[in-house]
Structure 1
Amino acid sequence: SPCSRPTFRYFTWHTCLLGIAGCCVMMFLISPVSASASLGFLLVLLLALHYLSPSSTWGYISQALIFHQVRKYLLMLDVRKDHVKFWRPQMLLMVQNPRGSARLIDFVNDLKKSGLYVLGHVELQDLDMLPSDPLQPQQDSWLSLVDKLNVKAFVSLTLAPSVRHGVRQLLFTSGLGGMRPNTLVLGFYDDTAPQDGLSGHPAFTSTREDVPLGFPPLRAPTTPKLLSAREYVGIVADALKMLRNVLLARQLESLDKAWELRRAASPPPSIHVWPVNLLRPDSARYAGAMPHAQEEKLRQLLKDLRIQAQIQLVPWDTVTRLHWQTHRGPPGGPALAGEVEEEEEEEGAVNFPANATQVSDEYICAANKLVLEQSPTP
């Protein structure tokens, strides 16, 4: 489990594997005949049930048992007992047309790390003006898409007068019990013409007739978008108000995962983590006292969590000065981007939108330049 961080430093998967091997060896040392007979009988029983079990016309009892177990454990999953140790990415990916989002769907499936994954789609129609629910015929196409792409995802479709209202509905209602999306994933809003990613996908190259799957063709480059830039920003603002994480994915259709894996073999890839919200210049603690003590504290935390990382303090007082010149003076000495102010969650949720609207374009450009300077060249 990703949340397993035992304090016993010699506990690793190697010791676990050694313990399993030791149990198997002891089993054969005690009684080789009984151990071999038990394993052989178990293997024969599994093969017989898998290949010789007849198909049932009355349904499968396994589905009823799975439903009972899922309902039982979902009720035991109490959201009031959430802890950062057990945090997992619970993704809600908004997809307008799967034809132009095949690689994005596959990428988010790799990103979810054994968490919840929901594919959301908003249909712009009014149910009062329709004779029946138009989402029922589409449900089979989406489920077939999930099977073809081999992604572990649920499908959630909704009707709404606008895309923004539909995303709100999905953020409020997707999931069940303690399994609800905590991260909203959106495609990037730009003028790039959409590309059909299903026609060249390996899952659809063998059976050409399965490529359409009932999905409409992609819009032409001259066709206006169904989503305006203002509504797109409003969706991001709504997600932040609901305390959801937001991921904006760009140029995923040009991603060659096989080539990236080969390139990442040597040297190993690196991930830069900035423990500070660059859209909130006042969220950094102004430490003129002991930055080395804070660095040592962070190094000890990384050691306890078994995270292999390097710490680099980045001075950004030249960047924050652009913000304080247009507002109020800084509370104290130089700012370090690696130190984060401890605030209450409610206060941060309330102040974040107002603070973000007060950030100048000059500050945004300077912060973006700072990040680019610290990023490795591709």
Structure 2
Amino acid sequence: MNLACFLLEIGSAPNFRPSFNFFNWQTALFGTIISALAMLFVDRFYAIGFLGILIFIFLFIHYNSPPKSWGDVSQSLIYHQVRKYLLRLKQEHVKFWRPQILLFVNDPRRQYKLIQFCNSMKKGALYILGHVIVTDDFGGSVPEARSQQAAWSKYIDFSKIKAFVNIAISPGVEWGARNIVMTSGLGGMRPNIAVLGFYNLDDFRRQPLINLSDSPTNAKGTEFHAPTSQSRNRKSFKVSEGNTMSDVLPTDSCKTEGMMSVTSYVTILEDLLLRLQINVAIAKGFEDLDFPSQDNHSKKFIDLWPIQMSAEITTA
């Protein structure tokens, strides 16, 4: 009881309001220590044995029982500590720099390998998946955004990546990308690299000059990764160790946006590089990426072309 009261007090749980006038976290901690010492003083062997049984039962229930609706005190402690240290997190020193990635994604099925690659590159830092819903009807798109938020969260659990999701609703893809970049992160944890897929001019040329579809759900949008004219296979698929897919993804039911224009793509790059001044990575060819497997330990390489955009250009 003393331990539970101590954890609730240091976790600042708003629903914990003790009526004891002399209660504080010091008295709860003192009561916990005294109770443990008294238990060991009476019979240390029985005390250690029952303590081991208690830990075993706790771990067994924690890892094997289905989730329950009652609150977990650990969530309160995690929330309190995260908020505390986020407020203390300042601008990081260049010595401890790490890539904090914001990846713009439209179709998680086709961009699965790029998502996994960026997850491997983040090295314990911030990783955000950004998506823009392009529409002029904000109120009508809010349910779609909430549905996609839940589907993307399930996709993260399915893919076993450590990332957050940021979905924006905007009448134009340019404004949606700006909003995502400026609002992503919290406190000192903000993305320093924006990753976009390479623009595919071949697929852009295959598009008809006039949209013949009258469907209201066929909205104009963006494809942050190289679009393809082939229809996506909606059959079940699952990602295995050999990079094959054989199960349905949680995001398969989400509406994907159309292909953006070349002007919009260049405008986004211009905003990111010159106005927002964030590092930009253009990804190409990741659909052919082969991830290392347990059977094949040979080294693989990728091409990286760094371009310094902030250098001053002087004329002779």
TM-score (norm 2): 0.64
Which residue, out of 253, 258, 262, partners 2:297? 262
SS of corresponding position for 1:74: helix
Q: Give me the whole-angstrom Cα distance separating, in 2, the residues matched to 1:278 and 1:113.
A: 25
Superposition CA RMSD, Å: 3.7
Counting aligned pairs with the same residue, the percent is: 37
Q: Give me the whole-angstrom Cα distance separating, in 1, the residues matched to 2:245 and 2:291.
A: 20
CA contact (8 A) 2:148 2:251 kept: no
Which residue, out of 49, 55, 67, partners 2:58? 49
Report the count of equivalent residues.
237
2:88 matches 1:76: yes
2:253 matches 1:214: yes
SS of corresponding position for 1:98: coil
Structure 1 gaps, min length 5:
1-37, 220-224, 284-327, 330-378
Q: Give me the whole-angstrom Cα distance separating, in 2, the residues matched to 1:140 and 1:74.
A: 25
Q: Give me the whole-angstrom Cα distance separating, in 2, the residues matched to 1:258 and 1:156.
A: 29
C-alpha displacement at 1:179, in angstroms? 0.4
2:237 matches 1:199: yes
Instruction: Name 1:147's counterpart in structure 2.
Output: 157
Which of the pair is proportionally richer in helix? 1
CA contact (8 A) 1:156 1:174 kept: yes
2:111 matches 1:101: yes
2:191 matches 1:160: no
2:177 matches 1:170: no
C-alpha displacement at 1:46, in angstroms? 4.4
C-alpha displacement at 1:230, in angstroms? 1.4
Q: Give me the whole-angstrom Cα distance separating, in 1, the residues matched to 2:303 and 2:51.
A: 45
Q: What are the within-5 Å matches in structure 2 for residues 1-80 of structure 1?
A: 46-53=55-62, 56-79=68-91
Q: What are the within-5 Å matches in structure 2 for residues 256-295 of structure 1?
A: 256-258=290-292, 262-264=297-299, 277=308, 282=313
CA contact (8 A) 1:89 1:183 kept: yes
CA contact (8 A) 2:152 2:250 kept: no
CA contact (8 A) 2:193 2:281 kept: yes
Q: Cα 1:228–1:77, aligned 2, differ >3 Å: closer, same or farther?
A: same
Instruction: Name 1:226's counterpart in structure 2.
Output: 259
Q: Give me the whole-angstrom Cα distance separating, in 2, the residues matched to 1:122 and 1:70.
A: 28
SS of corresponding position for 1:122: strand
C-alpha displacement at 1:206, in angstroms? 8.9
C-alpha displacement at 1:134, in angstroms? 2.3
Q: Give me the whole-angstrom Cα distance separating, in 1, the residues matched to 2:239 and 2:303.
A: 28
C-alpha displacement at 1:109, in angstroms? 0.2
C-alpha displacement at 1:127, in angstroms? 4.2
C-alpha displacement at 1:144, in angstroms? 0.8
What is the letter of the counterpart of residue 291 of structure 2? K
Q: Give me the whole-angstrom Cα distance separating, in 2, the residues matched to 1:207 and 1:47.
A: 37
Structure 2 gaps, min length 5:
1-46, 204-226
Q: Cα 1:210–1:160, aligned 2, differ >3 Å: closer, same or farther?
A: closer
C-alpha displacement at 1:61, in angstroms? 1.7
Instruction: Name 1:247's counterpart in structure 2.
Output: 281
CA contact (8 A) 1:97 1:215 kept: no
Q: Cα 1:39–1:246, aligned 2, differ >3 Å: closer, same or farther?
A: farther
Q: Which has the higher contact order (CA 8 A, sep 6+)?
A: 2
